[in-house]
Amino acid sequence: MFHDSVKTLRDFYGAVAQGDYASVALDPQIEWIEPDVPELWFSGTHYGPYAVLKEVIEPASEKVDAFHIQCDQFLDTGDYIIVTGCFRGHGKETGGELNAPFAHVWTLRGDKAVRFQNFTDTANWLQALYGLHVEHPAAV
User: What CATH number is attached to the domain comprising 7?
Assistant: 3.10.450.50
Give me the pLDDT at residue 118, please: 98
| CA–CA gap between residue 9 and residue 83 (Å, rounded) | 9
- Sorting pLDDT into bands at 50, 70 and 90, what band is 136? low
Domain limits for position 114: 2-134
Does residue 81 sit within a domain? yes
Q: For residues 99-114, give the mean pLDDT.
A: 95
Based on the structure, what is the number of domains in the chain?
1
Does residue 40 sit within a domain? yes
Contact 76, 6 (CB under 8 A): yes
Give me the pLDDT at residue 137, please: 57
Does residue 139 sit within a domain? no
Write the pLDDT tens digit of every residue in 11-70. 999 998 998 876 678 999 999 999 999 999 999 999 999 999 999 999 999 999 999 999
Residue 47: name the closest of 33, 30, 35 by CA. 30
